Amino acid sequence: MEHYSFIQNKECEYFPCHKTDNPEDFNCLFCYCPLYCLGDKCGGNFKYTESGIKSCVDCLRPHVRESYKEITGQLGEVMKLIEKNKSENL
């Protein structure tokens, strides 16, 4: 494993920010999920609240040690979304 693909911040007052049976494998690298903006195409275990807000409280996908390549592999989709939004706002 590449060392840059895993980091823990055990001093964080929220560590771990999601319930997990394996806190020793909890990855803080993607503290804020870079795939959140993909909505229902993020691939995580999310739900929409009654008010329509996407809730990722039950999602561990960005925090699993082995998810680094999956997450970074989807960043192209995030870039496409950014480009689309940019062109729509010109």
Give pLDDT tens digits for 25-47: 999 999 999 999 999 999 999 99
Sketch the domain layout of the chain as residue ranges. Answer: 23-89
Q: Residue 77 belongs to what H/E stretch?
A: helix 75-88
pTM (two decimals): 0.84
Query: SS3 for 9?
Result: coil
Query: SS3 for 24?
Result: helix
Q: How confident is the model over 1-19, as pLDDT tens digits?
A: 688 999 999 999 999 999 9
61 pLDDT more than 70: yes
Q: CB count, 10 Å around CB of 82?
A: 11
pLDDT computed for residue 22 by the predictor: 92
pLDDT band at residue 79, thresholds of 50, 70 and 90?
very high
